[in-house]
A and B are shown apart, each in its own frame.
Chain A
Amino acid sequence: MFWDKITGKKNIENIEEDKKEINKVGLEDSVRKNEEIIKDLIGESSDVVFRKFNLAKDEESPAMLIYIDGLTNTDILNLHIIKPLLSDLKEEDLTENSIEEQVDLITESIVTTHEIKLEKKMDKLITAALSGDSILLIEGLSQGFIIASKGWDARSISEPTTESVIRGPRDGFTENLRTNTSHIRRRLRDPGLRVKGVAVGERSKTDIAILYIEGVANPHIVDEIMNRIKSIKVDGVLESGYIEQFIEDSPFSPFPQLQHTERPDKAVGNLLEGKVAIVVDGTPFVLIAPAVFEQFYHSPEDYYNRTVIVSLLRVVRVIGLMISLALPALYIALTSFHFEMLPTVFALSIAGGRAQVPLPAYLEAFLMEGIIEILREASVHLPNVIGSTIGIVGGLILGTAAVDAGLVSPAMVIVVALTTIGSFTAPTYSVSNAIRILRFILMILASSFGLYGLVVGLIATSIHMASLKSFGIPYLTPYAPSRLEDLKDSIIRFPLWKMNFRPTLMRTKNSKREEAKEEGDKN
């Protein structure tokens, strides 16, 4: 597999052996026959190129280079493979040497690419070709050369769009697995950083890299993640979301149990805490496991800014999340059940606003929240240019018109606006989705049983969260079970020099942060 060649590391595991015919097919010692076999297996595809030429311009020794157009770097093919084989190889080299000596000659003195190796098995050759390497077949040899020649167009590194920060590095992960792992390596010059490769997907054979720091990460968790990834049985993996859904603990919970990030700094920070990063080829979203709820309102920026500011911001985020979770439900409960709880003046102004409204409070709330959800969903799919227009039309005009028409009360519009804005205070998109679902459940409970229903709903939510686990780590750590050391990095973030230990929840092997100096500082 091409993995070995690039990392130069031992490939830990092959993908699940195919049971297909391809496995049994061997190579012949004639180029023509081999070509037919490969054509038979790979089909007549227009992007598969079979380049025929003669070694050392000698018609007696035909050779063939097979590669996929578009996945290979043509400069490498031209200058480092075909040209040396045609010109640098002398005719007497072929006539005087045995086939074994010819192979040595080609690998050692002729081909000038950085990596070349012999392979006997046809399926491996084809997988290599399909992942961008080229295959060289020569007459009289029942093996093929795999020559590294990957090169394709990829998006260049750009700023992550989903997790923007004011202060912090601007580079983000890209769709290329190698670029992504290099991002992490570059920030973490620790010899303990391990990059383990697996290919998942019976057909897509997507490369996945599992990164962790040996000696910091808990080996049980690493093993568990490895095992879960290896046992995935799926046709193709197009995004890290596939992996997430296959390896998470409770698939029916609204709460995300793995983090995903586009930011290398966040990934590295988490690796230093003893977590495991899962990089999937073809997507800029890197998974981080295990994840606890605590992390979903942490932003990488939290560690770059000063302590006091960060603590304030985290309080703001938690309040934002609470508002987006419970405010509509609270509004329903107060206006339909417990009007007496509000101060008289306040109650009067709300009642005044509601006087014209023909709908009961809960219908009003469901209507408005429903509209906002529709708008939100629409704005995701609309092209950027129209998106902002829809935002203005939907948000401003619809809201104003609804109030003017007497369909909803002004207070309700404020509630809905706050709810929507509040849900975006979480730096992670996935958790605000969980809260969206729960908001509606709480609204139903509040419209049936008032504040009692709301509290019951919140308690049920917290029981559910307390029972969740992410790879053996309780979801609500460091609150429950409480870990005083970890609470230093919760709502209040202590100064960095006070956070001497890695999170105890990970049960890391070396828990003191400064102990291995060469790791660099996490933050």
Chain B
Amino acid sequence: MIKIKKEGKVTERQFSAIIINTILGVGILTLPREAVSFADNAGIISVILASLLSLINLLIIIRLGLKYPDKTIFEYLQILLGKILGKIISFFIICYWFVFTAFVIRTFSELIVTAVLPKTPIEVVIIIMLLLVAYLSYKDIQVLGRVNELYVFIVIIPILLLTILSFKRGHMIYVLPVFRGHSMVNILKSTGRSYFSFLGFEIVAIILPFITTKKLSIEYGIKGWLIPSILSVIVVIASISVFGVFELKNLVWPTFELIKSTQFFALIFERLEVAFIATWVIALFTTASNLLFGIAMGGAQILNLHKHKTLVLSLLPLLYLFALSPRNAYELFNLVDIVSIVGLILTTILPIILLILAEIRGKGGKAIDEESN
């Protein structure tokens, strides 16, 4: 196990920023469509439910992390479940993050190729994105925290601004009434799909031991969850109000279309989608590099490596292959759906089981903890 001093490397604000930036990623680009897919107008409720579910899971993970304040999830998994089972589950989590990262990069590259660089081969776009992501993941966690902190407002403010601007063309008649006799099952189905855009918060399982003040982690964790949730709800309402439910269901990139349809003449730029993509590169990049950092860190802890850096570089080619594996956008979306179901199960069920185990073991767990030190 790596014996480095963890505490004090990430400030609380950086902790929030990492959560925000990891959540805000590729999910929100397709969120409006997923939200209305089963629930129609009640999609707004689905999104709120999904965000609440993610909050609960986030809090459980933080609680769990606070039980082992100087350990990442990959370390306390081995304490709770034993060495072998712990490593297997850790490996499973890493695989999930790995596929998630690969698809985040792929989804975004698809968008770039369709929207702004139609003549550029997607491979080149992916390679550049990968190199950039690896550049940050290769650095230490302090740098990761700083970069996330630097970008959190650069990501939030443009998307918020552009979404609010798009309300100009919206009609409230499309939004209301929210309930049109949808069954609870449909709402829940939509919730499950919308949950994908809140995935990424599980990165706290790795970041938590590095935070300066452990007591504040819940408060700042909630702050980190709140901003993307509000943003998501606003985006969904705006999309429904502009397109209406039925058109929305047919859009591939609903959020992107929303921005595209917005014109703001006071700016020099007539079409804002390129500017949107430019800022969204940042959102995507932070998601991917935070996850890649988590993967490399976890991998290093499973394999007893001293530095996560070695893994970052060796994972790049694999990540590239995975990102290229779906043949087209349609296949990609189907795969993303599978990943999101895996994510739903992993982030909902695993933390609860672990928390119960930790409670049961109570002091016994701590004894092992002290022994291993």
Contact = CB atoms under 8 A, between A and B. Distances in A.
Interface of A: 337-338, 340-344, 346, 449-456, 459-460, 462-463, 466-467, 474, 476, 479-482
Given A338-B116, A480-B147, A480-B150, A456 B128 contact: yes
Given A337-B116, A455-B282, A479-B150, A466 B274 contact: no
Contact of B128 (A342, A449, A451, A474): A449
B78 interface: no
B359 interface: no
B150 A476 contact: yes
Interface in B248-288: 265, 268-271, 274-275, 277-279, 281-282, 285
Max chain B C-beta neighbours (<10 A), residue from A338, A342, A466: A466
16 contacts: A337-B117, A343-B268, A343-B270, A346-B268, A449-B117, A449-B128, A450-B117, A452-B278, A459-B281, A462-B150, A462-B151, A467-B139, A474-B142, A476-B146, A481-B11, A481-B145
Contact of A463 (B128, B136, B279): B136
A451 B274 contact: yes
B278 A463 contact: no
B146 A480 contact: yes
B102 interface: no
Contacts of A340: 270-271
B13 A482 contact: yes
Interface string B122-133: 001100110010
Contacts of B271: 340-341
Given A343-B268, A453-B128, A459 B116 contact: no
A463 B143 contact: yes
B146 A459 contact: no
Contacts of B70: none
Contacts of A462: 147, 150-151
Interface residues on B, range: 35 or more
A452 B146 contact: no
Given A463-B135, A463-B136, A480 B149 contact: yes
Given A463-B136, A466-B150, A481-B149, A338 B274 contact: yes
Nearest to B11: A481
Nearest to B128: A456
A466 B125 CA distance: 24
B47 interface: no
Nearest to B142: A474
Given A450-B116, A467-B139, A341 B150 contact: no
B295 to A, nearest CB: 18
B163 interface: no
B281 A342 contact: no
A454 B116 CA distance: 13
A455 B278 contact: yes
B21 to A, nearest CB: 12
B139 A463 contact: yes
B120 interface: yes
A408 to B, nearest CB: 21
Contacts of A476: 146, 150
Nearest to A445: B128
A466 B146 contact: yes
Contacts of A338: 116, 274
Nearest to A346: B268
Contacts of A450: 116-117
A456 B151 CA distance: 13
B116 A463 contact: no
A346 B265 CA distance: 12
Contacts of A481: 11, 13-14, 145-146, 149
A186 B265 CA distance: 57
Contacts of B147: 462-463, 466, 480
A452 B277 contact: yes
Q: In this complex, which of B140, B145, B278 has the most chain A Cβ atoms within 10 angstroms of its Cβ?
A: B278
Contacts of A480: 14, 145-147, 149-150
A459 B282 contact: yes
